[in-house]
Structure 1
Amino acid sequence: MANTYLETAFNVPVTADEAALLEECFETAAEISAGYASIPQEGLEAAGSFYASRSSLFRATFPPQPGNDDPFVTFRALWSDPDFPCLDADLTINDDPVGKGQLAYIHGHEVDVSALASLIQKVCKSALPFGFEWALVTDQDRPGGFGGGYYVVTETEILGGSTRWLMKETLRSFRAGA
């Protein structure tokens, strides 16, 4: 058996407001993933209390959905599995060395890169269009155990995918033309 890891590390140029919102999103995802452990209430009551404690910018970016009891439903929509809103990434905010705002350094192992792409699209508007890459590695030499991919994030689209998908599509087009 082999262990496979998805790894990434990149900087996103952000404004001060975007940096604060990005940090809040990381904190919010961690709290939701922990089942609102820091809230003395249960279930949707805890979710409601925690949502009310979020900044006005967070609430404007991720408003509640009418008719849905979960106030975080639009935030959870960033993930392909909304019941597991975990980024599995670390975030560090630093001043941009060239003096153009701040840099959000995002990195980690087992990162949910599609959720990160969606988060960047919603939160880091000043950086768009933006792109980042990731690597897929395994601790044993196995066919299909290595690869990677990329995402290009624009205001309206998230483009990209894995190198495996890109390779298959390229092969398919060559075979179709043969």
Structure 2
Amino acid sequence: MTNSYTKAAFGIVVTSPEADLLRRVIGAIELVGDVKIGPEALEAHFHGMGEDFAALFPRTPESPFDGLLDLFPDENFPALDFEIEFGEADANGRVALFFSGEQFGVETAAKLIQRCARSALPFGFEWASDCDRLRAGEFGGGYVVISATDTDYGHTSPLLDRAIARMIDEGADGYVLSKRDGEHGLSFWNNEDGFGRLARATVFSVAEAGSFDIPLADDHPEWMEMPAPLRI
């Protein structure tokens, strides 16, 4: 028998009202997970949660705490897979929190931070996966980057595959279509607006570049390989 783990440990600093909200959210999750708590007790508790909680986790006609269930991969098992330690508020009303766990709910933590710790955004954390036996495929890790409107997940497996691909093919990161302007320098094609900034450029695979109908321009557009990401 083997045991696999998803581990994470990181700190984040939030405002005092956000820390208070997180304490109430944790208490509500524990309450919902208690099978001994009846509907009347849940209703009574919900009325004391505050308007900020009700706005972030809206109730349904069936249950006042159904809004919490979206935090969890399995709505039938609403439980935090990590611990949150709360520090004391400093002179500026900021509170340091420490998240940690050995079966860490990465998605749940990301959603919780996005909703309840908006002053800290954008924010990200890393996680690791391992096993108590040395088995192939059991070790890796990843990261989460959280903004007010989006969450981006990354894993070491595709990063490793892409790094190997770069050793074989310099064009592994794709191609962009560029044209040169005497006044503004290089500009790059994107499928929505035409030529513009590199940050908005459409990245093409080898096959897509080969079949793309190159638009007419004052300077003949040329394909450029996307560089590998900069490394520290």
TM-score, normalising length from structure 2?
Answer: 0.65
Aligned pair in 2 of structure 1 residues 97, 53: CA closer, same or farther (>3 Å)?
closer
Gaps of 5+ in 2: 167-171, 173-204, 207-232
Hey, what's the Cα distance between the residues in 2 that align with 1:46 and 1:85? Answer: 18
Cα deviation, 1:115-145, whole Å, max 9, x if unaligned, reads 1100100000000000011111100000111
CA RMSD of aligned residues (A): 2.7
Hey, what's the Cα distance between the residues in 2 that align with 1:94 and 1:84? Answer: 28
For the residue of structure 2 that corresponds to 1:77, the secondary structure is: helix
Give identity over the alignment, percent: 33
Hey, what's the Cα distance between the residues in 2 that align with 1:97 and 1:166? Answer: 39
Cα deviation, 1:64-120, whole Å, max 9, x if unaligned, reads 24xx41222222111121221111211111147796711111111212110110010
Task: Tell which deviates more after alignment, 83-92 or 99-108.
Answer: 99-108
Cα deviation, 1:30-67, whole Å, max 9, x if unaligned, reads 222222x3x4xx3x4443233223233212221224xx
1:48 equivalent in alignment to 2:57: no
Work out the number of aligned pairs and report it: 171
Hey, what's the Cα distance between the residues in 2 that align with 1:87 and 1:47? Answer: 19
Is the 1:13–1:96 Cα contact (8 Å) retained in structure 2? Answer: no
1:119-158 matched pairs, under 5 angstroms: 119-158=112-151
Q: Which has the higher contact order (CA 8 A, sep 6+)?
A: 1
State the AA in 2 paired with 1:56. Answer: E
Is the 1:117–1:151 Cα contact (8 Å) retained in structure 2? Answer: yes
Gaps of 5+ in 1: none
Structure with greater Cα Rg:
2
- Equivalent residue for 1:160, pick from 153, 163, 166: 153
Partner of 2:26: 26
